[in-house]
């Protein structure tokens, strides 16, 4: 967890926008209903213990799971029952080796696994079953890549955090990764406690969920912001204008304390609607150990035209470690780590989203991007 905490504070805070205040709804506003439809317990091997963070997970269509553990510089492959089936990667600086892997994703076809190693500015492609290195691609700069990769034909798109550009575009059969757009200054400065950049490619460009921003940004194919849709909040912390000032004051009064709302996931569903996942985090440092408390995951759904939104459906999943969701079709997956009397429990949950009981809210539609958030 020390690595994760270090990442949280690498960037300083800055002032908030003055014209993009988030609308808060009554806490009684009904959000989406989120239901657990399946779960798989991960058998943590004694010889390769997973770290104390819910690290990125990728899921094959056959149910196999890949769990990245940066602590051992490897990816652990589990069968559909959660039993360890193989290990991919090894520590090192040479071709195909990993120094500080932080993200994984399966490429189209499910036969290749991409591992992002930002400290080497490299993306390494392995065979998903045999673990053999296939090739490497150079990242344009040090950047933290989102684990959700939007696929369109032979091109994958993913978000970049702590980068000058927010969007990476990779024709995945080649070795060249290009970028689009310019990361808003405010987003570059807010710090990773507000999440990571999430990107979905569309026919006309990109939809982006930035850390610390109270809405979705619409970008054209060149990466220029063309529109903005605000996200109201009912139960989660959200992104109030003074959230950075609140955090700064809290850090002074209680050292090591962090309370934040993270941009955790963005996905387009088969209906065309947009699914957002946010994570409210309460962290406290005790000595050299970071303790997680009161983590809550929320789902919100936008209509396909961004005119309506249903917010803050609580996910019925608990975790003692922050985690980021991943998606397959209309199913949301979440890797949970909890500590009990029997030790560490690692579970991958599959969840579905139902908006039938929502109190739908009007968003005001797509408006010009707030000038002070660019």
The more confidently predicted of residues 324 and 104 is: 104
Nearest to 266, CA basis, from 221, 222, 308, 231: 231
pLDDT at 360 exceeding the cut of 50: yes
Question: Quick one: average pLDDT of 2-14?
Answer: 33
User: Cβ(140)–Cβ(184) under 8 Å?
Assistant: no
Question: Quick one: average pLDDT of 114-132?
Answer: 93
Question: Quick one: average pLDDT of 216-238?
Answer: 94
Q: Looking at residue 253, what is its pLDDT?
A: 65
The more confidently predicted of residues 268 and 152 is: 268
Q: Looking at residue 124, what is its pLDDT?
A: 94
User: Cβ(325)–Cβ(265) under 8 Å?
Assistant: yes
Mean pLDDT value across the chain: 85
What whole-number distance in Å separates Cα of residue 130 and Cα of residue 245?
49
User: Cβ(197)–Cβ(166) under 8 Å?
Assistant: yes
DSSP lists the bridge partners of residue 293 as: 282
What whole-number distance in Å separates Cα of residue 20 and Cα of residue 83?
47
Banded pLDDT at 311 (limits 50, 70, 90): very high
What whole-number distance in Å separates Cα of residue 334 and Cα of residue 54?
9
Of 11-15, 174-178, 265-269, 293-297, the least confident: 11-15
The more confidently predicted of residues 218 and 153 is: 218
Q: Which residue has the tokens 């998903």?
A: 128
Q: Reduced to 3 states, what is the DSSP secondary structure of residue 9?
A: coil
Long-range Cβ pairs for the range 222-227 (8 Å, 24+): 222/180, 222/181, 223/165, 223/166, 223/167, 223/179, 223/180, 223/181, 223/182, 224/181, 225/181, 225/369, 225/374, 226/369, 227/366, 227/367, 227/368, 227/369
Question: Quick one: average pLDDT of 4-17?
Answer: 33
Nearest to 363, CA basis, from 298, 297, 304: 304
CA dihedral sign of residues 260, 223, 199, 367: positive
Using DSSP bridges, classify how beta strands 198-201 and 150-152 pair: parallel, antiparallel or unpaired. Answer: unpaired
pLDDT per residue as tens digits for the range 257-295:
667 788 899 999 999 999 999 998 876 655 555 454 678
Backbone phi, psi, residue 127, to 5°:
-65, 130
Q: Looking at residue 9, what is its pLDDT?
A: 32
Question: Quick one: average pLDDT of 321-332?
Answer: 90
Nearest to 10, CA basis, from 249, 181, 196: 196
pLDDT per residue as tens digits for the range 46-67:
777 776 667 889 999 999 999 9
pLDDT at 134 exceeding the cut of 80: yes
The answer to whether the pTM exceeds 0.75 is yes
Of 130-134, 167-171, 332-336, 370-374, the least confident: 370-374
User: Cβ(204)–Cβ(343) under 8 Å?
Assistant: no
DSSP 323-346: ---EEETTEEEEEEEEEETTEEEE
Banded pLDDT at 189 (limits 50, 70, 90): low
Q: Looking at residue 114, what is its pLDDT?
A: 96
């Amino acid at each position: 967890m020390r690595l994760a905490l270090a990442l949280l504070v690498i960037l300083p805070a800055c002032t908030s926008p003055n014209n993009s205040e988030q609308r808060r709804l009554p806490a009684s506003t009904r959000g989406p209903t989120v239901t657990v439809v399946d779960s798989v317990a991960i058998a943590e091997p004694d010889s390769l213990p997973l770290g104390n963070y819910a690290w990125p997970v990728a899921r094959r269509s056959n149910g196999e799971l890949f769990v990245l553990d940066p602590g051992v510089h490897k990816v652990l492959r589990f069968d559909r029952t959660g039993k360890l089936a193989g290990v991919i990667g090894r520590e090192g600086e040479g071709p195909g080796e990993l120094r500080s892997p932080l993200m994984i994703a399966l490429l189209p076809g499910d036969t290749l696994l991409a591992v992002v190693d930002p400290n080497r500015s490299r993306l390494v492609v392995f065979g998903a079953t045999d673990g053999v290195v296939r090739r490497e691609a150079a990242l344009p700069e040090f950047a933290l890549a989102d684990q959700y990769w939007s696929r369109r034909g032979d091109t994958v798109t993913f978000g970049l955090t702590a980068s000058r550009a927010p969007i990476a575009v990779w024709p995945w059969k080649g070795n060249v990764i290009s970028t689009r757009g310019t990361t808003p200054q405010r987003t570059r400065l807010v710090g990773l406690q507000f999440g990571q950049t999430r990107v979905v490619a569309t026919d006309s460009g990109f939809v982006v969920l930035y850390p610390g921003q109270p809405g979705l940004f619409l970008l054209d194919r060149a990466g220029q912001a063309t529109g903005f849709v605000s996200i109201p909040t009912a139960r989660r912390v959200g992104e109030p204008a003074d959230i950075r000032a609140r955090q700064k004051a809290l850090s002074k009064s209680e050292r090591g304390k962090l309370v934040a709302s993270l941009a955790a996931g963005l996905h387009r569903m088969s209906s065309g609607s947009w699914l957002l996942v946010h994570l409210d985090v309460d962290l406290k440092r005790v000595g050299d150990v970071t303790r997680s408390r009161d983590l809550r995951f929320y789902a919100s759904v936008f209509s396909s035209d961004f005119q309506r939104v249903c917010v803050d459906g609580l996910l019925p999943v608990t975790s003692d470690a922050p985690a980021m969701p991943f998606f397959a079709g209309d199913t949301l997956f979440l890797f949970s780590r909890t500590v009990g009397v029997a030790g560490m429990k690692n579970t991958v949950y599959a969840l579905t989203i139902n908006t039938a009981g929502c109190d739908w809210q009007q968003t005001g539609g797509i408006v010009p991007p707030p000038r002070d958030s660019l």
